[in-house]
Amino acid sequence: MANSKLYKGSLVTIILKLLNESDKMYGYEITQKVKELTKGELKITEGALYPALHKLEAEGLLEVEVKKVDNRLRKYYKLTEKGNKETVSKLQELQDYIKTMQVLVNPKLSLE
Amino acid sequence: MNISKDQIEDLYKFTRQHFVEHFDLQTELVDHLANDIETIWVEQPNLSYIEARDKAFKKFGIFGFMDVVSQRQKAMGKRYNKYLWQEFKQWVTFPKLLITLSIFFGFYTLLSFSFASYVLGITFGLIFIWCLFKSILLKRQFKRRKTVSKKKWMLEEIIFKQAGVSGLILISQFPSLFRFLDELFLSQVMIIVWSSTITLFIIWMYVSFEYLPKKAEDLLKETYPEFSL
């Protein structure tokens, strides 16, 4: 699962969902949180995470805050109002997708 | 074990060596690498700083930071276009619309005469010279800013170095278009088309070369909270 391409389409939804559950997060924290929640099953790669965060920021779904932590600057991301609305719609989209996939891969189960 | 101040400085150097030129992105990557190095040290305390740093960097894949940099540039370009569009919109709504209409009707009148092709030639020539002059001026200004602050910000580079470049390329194609204008009088439709094109082009160039660079400080503060730190 670690290198699976399956999660790539859901990366934005994962980021939005995590930020929705906490006030603000920084890049490294997001990678660690996903690792922790999925018990290491899913690893967000650095090369995919930052482009996704920067895209969401440019689209106005995220806003940033910078703080000095220890001896370095840390950039935090948090959801904007537009980002909150997008989270709801993206989560719904993902749930619908999971249901559809369920029908395809396990038709018996989905009919019950 | 925590990362030292000198090692943070080394990480900035390391990102620069791996083609991350802009301070905004360097800062984010330095913090990421520092966090990962500290995590690696918890699991493998015997690793040296260099070994841990290289291990953390490997996670970015074979292309290193290149993908992050190019995607960041794309996102920042989008942001710049948003600022450009926000200001441009002001010129097609009241009260700035009055200035836009004055420019349009000015050209509409001038282009109705038999010397229309000269008006077009001189206008585009003047716009081209002004844009070229401003472009050189802004590049110098950017260089000075960089020397003073010793930092380079991605949005700042777009505002000062790439401003209106697409416009300059477009305008440089004008001589080839000009060859087709051999008629003395332009048709009514062509007068409207040319007057609108010139008006919109002037506004676009003004916003890129004059307005946004003047507002650069505010835009940079808005984009980068760390800009004023």
Structure confidence by residue, pLDDT tens digits, B141-176: 999 988 888 888 999 999 998 776 777 777 777 766
Please report the pLDDT score of residue A112 as a whole number. Answer: 53
Same domain, B98 and B181: yes
Tell me: pLDDT of B16 over 80.
yes
Q: Could you tell me the pLDDT band of residue A44, with boundaries at 50, 70 and 90?
A: confident
B228 touches chain A (CB under 8 A): no
Residue of B102 and A41 predicted with greater confidence: B102
A84 to chain B, any CB pair closer than 8 A? The answer is no
B window 76-115, beta carbon within 8 A of A? 76, 78-79, 82
pLDDT of residue B67: 86
Q: Please report the sign of the dihedral spanned by the C-alpha atoms of residue B27, residue B33, residue B39, residue B45.
A: negative
CA nearest to B74 within chain A = A55
Given this model, what pLDDT does residue A5 score?
65
CB-CB under 8 Å, A51 with B72: yes
Predicted local distance difference test score (pLDDT) of residue B189:
85
Residues B105 and B54 in one domain: no
pTM of the full predicted structure? 0.82
* Most A CBs within 10 Å, among B226, B227, B228, B229, to test the A interface: B226
| % of chain B beyond a pLDDT of 90 | 47
- Residue B9 forms part of a structural domain: yes
Please report whether residue B229 resides in a domain: no
pLDDT digits (tens, 9 = 90+) for A54-75: 999 988 999 999 999 988 999 9
For residue B186, being part of any structural domain is answered with: yes
Task: Indicate the burial class of A10 (C-beta count within 10 angstroms; 0-12, 13-18, 19 or more).
Answer: middle
Residue B94: inside a domain: yes
In a domain, B104, yes or no: yes
Q: Are residues B141 and B93 in the same domain?
A: yes
Question: What three-state secondary structure class fits B22?
Answer: coil
Co-location of B29 and B107 in the same domain: no
Which residue, B26, B41, B64, sits at the end of a domain? Answer: B64
State the residue range of the domain holding B41.
5-64
Mean pLDDT of A79-89: 90
Q: Does residue A24 belong to the interface with chain B, where contact is any CB pair within 8 Å? A: no
* d(C-alpha B111, C-alpha B104), whole Å: 10
Test A58 with B225 for CB contact under 8 angstroms.
no
- Same domain, yes or no, for B91 and B122? yes
Q: Where are the domains of chain A?
A: 6-111
For residues B177 and B197, state if they share a domain.
Answer: yes
> Under CATH, what is the fold of the domain A6-111?
Arc Repressor Mutant, subunit A (1.10.10)
Same domain, B139 and B117: yes
Mean pLDDT of chain A: 85
Higher pLDDT, B2 or A108: B2
In total, how many domains does chain B have? 2
The per-residue pLDDT for B185 is 58
Residues of A in Cβ contact (< 8 Å) with B72? 50-51, 54
